[in-house]
Structure 1
């Protein structure tokens, strides 16, 4: 008898794709990190000569949009608060924002710094419920407004999120895709720019529904080979998958627009060298080498010139670029008139480090030593800030601009904290800055146009306290971080005096990864942080459980830190932290948690 083996049946679940899009991201991050900016017209961009990169919705009421010249925005809104871009801060908030999506699925495609997709197909909870949870968590913890669209594919979810911004939340049921798209203008379809839209409008195809009903061969007369895909999009068909991994970078580039046109060749050369420092650090961090560098200049009349050169061998050392930069600058700067912008681009990438010299050759030994030195310099700058190590061109720039090259992370009172490959900044517990409110010079004075002239006394920025990639201290601590609060470890802090009479803050509401979906800190990580900041005691108050209590008590005792064991409960709609005083208290807390667990399952009664 013949045995037939049938393949297992595959059940194709309807896809559930969520498009997450932050509203006015750069401006919203500035408002989240400084409560004084909330409700006011603000914009991120160049002070005098640049364009508006992001405008708050308060500013958009005055007609300000992106991209608009800064001068025009000032005329429309004289009281506009204009802030320079801080992309380190924006990238940090972006990682924290998308980390909430990673709580529910690994299939997260980050399209840009402020928007992306996540695939909830097959999730245990309804996609609508998860999307609402993510949206609410971002709003509560980071004080950011986001728009979300939920649909059966990437096109539908993206259009749904952008259609009614800000704070949009729209769900398009499966099977209603074509009906949802039909009345919309053709510009909402991917691949249709202003020129193609005008052609379609002239042909009477102004609406997506009209495109969906047009045969592909006729549509091809207008858009060519794009017709079949465009027609599928118009009918709500989009098979593009959510791709979690980003495509690797094909080049690295940086540019700078000067506050005033300049002919100072030494200053321009120093600027390019500083760009090379920044870019090559990224190249090394990505484990790559580069072989081609291109310098571009922009004249005061907006005309541009560029010059490039390919090295004989790939390199990951900025010191091998310095001499090339001077020559390329002179080559690109053909007209001896003032410049308003210079840029540097590194391309022609290679995987890994490259050097073809023999190991015993003196040049090879020097090259190897330079690579080790570069790695050490990267580690020091990552740990203590860009100001930890300076080169000669940094001091040239400082003498020309009067701006210190020392970054925020190297200020007194700030220490770096590393968790895996992600780095954040933690305030020193006994720093006097912790108990000093953030103050910014010249803020909100009548008659000054609401300009900000910079921080006084150099207090730590609230966003720097956050630990990258959701190594955060629970939702409530994250909210304090985003709103500029100083209670960095929970609801409250008690103060102890050590032998030197220095005041130290003891965190009394700290969550570990036993608080599911609320923290990713391990017990060992918590103890290491406490040791690093020389805390005499620390409290662990996981939500509704004592699962980490034994491990925490043993690790803290071994580190010479007093463990405070407790738990966080909800009582009558309020958060309640209970702490153990002795063994009897521990037994009582265990009993209360057990009773609460039974009550939540409907198996017991509420104790008095």
Structure 2
């Protein structure tokens, strides 16, 4: 079978689960199969937003992040379920365990997608045969559908897996790029968000082909260093390796200060925490990262240290979020004595391009508070057109080099430290 593999290049698969949360629920309860199904919060109160939905629901126009009331209007027979993140984590771990049976080079990108380098797995069969075995194994053992892209690099594998859903297997070679990728609209390219697409269209780049043949100097002027990288991707160039340890990277950004005098006043100490949170948030913004955990260090006048840390349900990055979390930790750890030093550290940092907020029930409640506003926006759009108002969250300049970017993704911190082989 070695003849089916390149002598010098790589063979990389991108395995992308189809409508993951909804599919897991259908696997758990087969009676849900074939029905329009959505995962959302505050089911009893009909509040919140859609996290993901089945393909049957999508036929009615139901979409991810859509307000629940709007989804029910489009599909009155929509079955709505609250999320079960423990169930999804378990299914994800089982998925990656299966992938590691085919190659030790498996890189989880999010809970529901990952890359597999099968270059040295030729003894198992041809690339298409391995992809078929993976798809069959995941379906038979987990009762979950997936789409798989086969390509010589990560970018092309990701693009390939998006071409046929659900349950598709697509081979995308470099020689296929002019016929398959180049005619596509620029926003359909992985790594290009709405705002970047607008910038490119402003200079006459409408399709991926236009980008592939674009002027490098002009692209750099418009997009900075990303312009060169995007042009390389449009031409099928991507030298990134499949890194099994990518989910185990631990990084941190912290800031501490020795106080000019020992302070025991809670209000003053919280003000200092706020200042430290601002400094940490500023550095995080420069490095384009979110934090999955946070730590607070307290040194008392007797020079004894007390540190407390916690993992976060959702990634955070703003000053207000960092301050709120660090304040909670501080009040739990502080014994009331005078403090000599305070420190705030954001840990387990994840690049903005690969972070996707885990929508828990608390998040749904916050989103539900916006429901009257969402209704007003919906009415305005219906009257004056869809472009009359845009959500600031939609104006992301970047979908992300490793965006978990699917509608069913959340952070992969639960995969850290896991070994599947």
Q: TM-score, normalised by structure 2?
A: 0.59
Residues of 1 paired with 2:115 and 2:175: CA distance?
Answer: 20
Residues of 2 paired with 1:18 and 1:36: CA distance?
Answer: 32
Instruction: Give the corresponding residue for 2:117.
Output: 119
Instruction: Give the corresponding residue for 1:76.
Output: 74
Q: Is the 8 A contact 2:308 2:333 kept in 1?
A: no
Instruction: Give the corresponding residue for 2:287.
Output: none
How much does 1:222 deviate? 2.3
How much does 1:12 deviate? 5.2
1:243 aligned counterpart, secondary structure = coil
Residues of 2 paired with 1:195 and 1:64: CA distance?
Answer: 24
2:80 aligned counterpart, secondary structure = strand
Residues of 1 paired with 2:23 and 2:165: CA distance?
Answer: 14
Q: Does 1:13 align with 2:14?
A: no
How much does 1:293 deviate? 7.1
Count residues in correspondence.
277
Give 5+ residue unaligned stretches, structure 1: 1-10, 252-278, 281-288, 297-303, 312-317, 328-345, 351-468, 472-519, 521-608
Instruction: Give the corresponding residue for 2:279.
Output: none
For residues 421-432 of structure 1, what are the structure 2 equivalents within 5 Å?
Answer: none
How much does 1:186 deviate? 1.4
For residues 86-105 of structure 1, what are the structure 2 equivalents within 5 Å?
Answer: 86-105=84-103
Instruction: Give the corresponding residue for 1:150.
Output: 150
Summarize the Cα distance change of 1:18–1:225 in structure 2 as closer, same or farther, 3 Å threshold. same
Q: Does 1:32 align with 2:27?
A: yes
Instruction: Give the corresponding residue for 2:339.
Output: none
Instruction: Give the corresponding residue for 1:85.
Output: 83
Q: TM-score, normalised by structure 1?
A: 0.42
For residues 202-221 of structure 1, what are the structure 2 equivalents within 5 Å?
Answer: 202-221=202-221
Summarize the Cα distance change of 1:293–1:167 in structure 2 as closer, same or farther, 3 Å threshold. closer
Instruction: Give the corresponding residue for 1:57.
Output: 55
Structure with the higher helix share, 1 or 2: 2
How much does 1:147 deviate? 0.5
1:206 aligned counterpart, secondary structure = coil
Residues of 1 paired with 2:311 and 2:113: CA distance?
Answer: 30
Query: What is the CA RMSD across the aligned residues, in angstroms?
Result: 3.4
Q: Is the 8 A contact 1:51 1:69 kept in 2?
A: yes
How much does 1:188 deviate? 3.4
For residues 178-577 of structure 1, what are the structure 2 equivalents within 5 Å?
Answer: 178-245=178-245, 246-248=247-249, 291=308, 307-308=323-324, 323=332, 348-349=346-347
How much does 1:290 deviate? 6.2
Residues of 1 paired with 2:333 and 2:419: CA distance?
Answer: 41
How much does 1:64 deviate? 0.5
Summarize the Cα distance change of 1:295–1:243 in structure 2 as closer, same or farther, 3 Å threshold. closer
Q: Is the 8 A contact 2:307 2:333 kept in 1?
A: no
| TM-superposition CA deviations, 1:32-74 (whole Å, max 9, x none) | 1101111111111112321111101111111110011112112
Instruction: Give the corresponding residue for 2:106.
Output: 108
Residues of 1 paired with 2:61 and 2:121: CA distance?
Answer: 42
How much does 1:225 deviate? 2.0
Residues of 2 paired with 1:291 and 1:159: CA distance?
Answer: 43
Based on CA coordinates, which of the two structures has the bigger radius of gyration?
1
Residues of 2 paired with 1:96 and 1:140: CA distance?
Answer: 12
| TM-superposition CA deviations, 1:216-263 (whole Å, max 9, x none) | 112223222222211111101111111111143568xxxxxxxxxxxx
- Greater RCO (Cα-Cα under 8 Å, separation 6 or more): 2
How much does 1:154 deviate? 0.5
1:103 aligned counterpart, secondary structure = coil
How much does 1:294 deviate? 11
Residues of 2 paired with 1:99 and 1:309: CA distance?
Answer: 34
